[in-house]
A and B are shown apart, each in its own frame.
Chain A
Amino acid sequence: MTGFPAAFATEARKAAAAAVLRFGGAFLALGTAVLAASLAAAVRAGDEQIVAKLGPAAAATGWELLAAIATQVVGAGALLAFGVTLAWSFGREFTDGTVNGLFALPVSRTALVAAKLVVHLIWTIAVATLLTLLLLGAGLATGLGPIGAGAAGALARLFVLAVCSGLIATPAAWAATLGRGPLPGVAVAVALIVTAQVTVVAAPAGGSWLPISAPALWALDPAAVNGFQLLLVPAFALAWAAAAAAAWRRLQLDR
């Protein structure tokens, strides 16, 4: 992985200047906090439609209710947001024509892929932190009072779910490379969300074995997913990272 420090410095600089990342992160963190606080208020006010939509989560109260709603939002929304930004990070090199400048360098393309993914992970953690803090702020602002142990655990799981969503978005990087643009990566992210949702509805027991649905199932109910099943999430991300790196190694600028 020749030249990783230079590749990392480059990708970090690009990410710091990227409006797509800023808006994507803010949209996810702020959107989740506002949506969860509004829906929780609607449940408290007895809105039957919202209660029916939220299912069993609506039975909770206070912080638990807020965390449960946020977990449902993040379960699908974070994968979409991180899938879009990751697809953009890889696909923009083709659509912006900068991919030519990433060849014939003393920095290997494997190092460039690794740098992009490490920066994506750091950004994912930053957004997950912001999201959790905003939700905390929303809870305090709406007068939920002190947080109990159960709610603190739910919020911690929400943070982990957001980070895991960044990890399971990795196939978007591979697809954006093969498709030479962000759109194929976005399409794969959407396909991942649909697959995860359908699996959870059609075969809830099987969902805990599927790395793309296990984090959300675990965040909603820790007993539904065991440690080994959760460990499949980083393994899944590493496998797709290796696929993306291989695609960049083999890449030819012939179209």
Chain B
Amino acid sequence: MPNRLEITDAVRAYGPGTGVLGASLRVAPGEVHALLGLNGAGKTTLMRAALGMVRLDGGGVRIGGVPVARLPAPNWARVGHLIDRPFAYADLSVRANLRVAARLRGLPPAAVAARVEAALGSWSLGRYGPVRAAKLSKGNRQRLGLAAALIAGPDLAVLDEPTDGLDPAGVIALREALLRLAAGGAGVLVSSHHLDEVARIADRISVMNRGRIVGGLEPGGADLERAFFALVLADDERRGEAR
């Protein structure tokens, strides 16, 4: 089976030393892949490139073995994502937002209602169903965004800082949702700027710094936080010497 996502030598430069400057990674079926990096490392740009939101200057992206620029429309129905801000319209209720997300992700109209109710339940949003998204707390808006991203049961989930704003119960719900997806054969790419709960359940951890993947961490290894900073520091020093 082809990788759910494969990024090869991706380059998208925004200026000297910013953007993505040659990054490769892959997400296999059934794998949770965490992308770790400090702010400005290029994680969001790399994820946007993976989803066709920005075009690369060099390198390539394949989803399920198909180049992203040529991915047929039905294949996008199998991709769920949350980049930057939750997909939530302030004027719409939580339930209406999920309905909209389900339709846009290609679910047939007859299947939408059941899928929306299931999502409300698994993200503990049931009592907020009739509430407008504008009235939600940041954490509940993030839950709504995650529920919308994953509502169609994707084969590939790309989630940028998914724990942002979540309370511990929300983090557990996310962790369980991702493990369930992976157990069903989906590939999951999550980014974080620190070793949060989700990064700790990853099967693979890649560290990104200044636009490049500079190494990996052993999942379940001891003192991951220290190893992460050591990798970043070593890369900074190496580049300092190269200059």
Q: Is B188 an interface residue (CB 8 A)?
A: no
Q: Is the CB of B54 within 8 A of A6?
A: no
Q: Is the CB of A100 within 8 A of B101?
A: no
Q: Is B23 an interface residue (CB 8 A)?
A: no
Task: Give Cα distance in the complex from A18 to B91, angstroms.
Answer: 6
Task: Give Cα distance in the complex from A7 to B105, angstroms.
Answer: 10
Q: Is B100 an interface residue (CB 8 A)?
A: yes
Q: Is A49 an interface residue (CB 8 A)?
A: no
Q: Is A223 an interface residue (CB 8 A)?
A: no
**Complex interface: chain A residues within 8 A of B101 (CB):** 101
Task: Give Cα distance in the complex from A251 to B184, angstroms.
Answer: 34
Enumerate chain B interface residues (CB-CB to A < 8 A).
12, 14, 45, 48, 51-55, 73-77, 79, 81-92, 96, 99-101, 103-106, 109, 148, 158
Q: Is the CB of B99 within 8 A of A13?
A: yes
Q: Is the CB of A107 within 8 A of B88?
A: no
Q: Is the CB of A17 within 8 A of B92?
A: yes
Known: A13-B96, A97-B85. Contact between A6 and B52, CB under 8 A? no
Known: A6-B106, A96-B90, A106-B73. Contact between A14 and B100, CB under 8 A? yes
**Complex interface: chain A residues within 8 A of B105 (CB):** 105-106
**A-B residue pair count with CB separations less than 8 angstroms:** 91
Q: Is the CB of B148 within 8 A of A3?
A: no
Residue in A6, A13, A97 whose CB lies within 8 Å of B84: A97
Q: Is the CB of A103 within 8 A of B99?
A: no
**Complex interface: chain B residues within 8 A of A98 (CB):** 85, 87-89
Q: Is the CB of A9 within 8 A of B103?
A: yes
**Complex interface: chain B residues within 8 A of A9 (CB):** 100, 103, 109
Q: Is the CB of B104 within 8 A of A105?
A: yes
Q: Is A48 an interface residue (CB 8 A)?
A: no
A interface, how many residues as a size bin? Answer: 20 to 34
Enumerate chain A interface residues (CB-CB to B < 8 A).
2-3, 6-7, 9-10, 13-14, 17-19, 96-98, 100-108, 252-254
Residue in A6, A14, A104, A254 whose CB lies within 8 Å of B51: A104
**Complex interface: chain A residues within 8 A of B81 (CB):** 100-101, 104
**Complex interface: chain B residues within 8 A of A106 (CB):** 73-77, 104-106
**Complex interface: chain A residues within 8 A of B92 (CB):** 13-14, 17
Task: Give Cα distance in the complex from A19 to B73, angstroms.
Answer: 32
| Contact sample, A vs B, 8 pairs, CB 8 Å cutoff | A10-B100, A13-B100, A17-B89, A96-B89, A98-B88, A100-B83, A104-B53, A106-B106
Q: Which of A2, A96, A98, A104 has the most CB of B within 10 A?
A: A104
**Complex interface: chain A residues within 8 A of B109 (CB):** 9
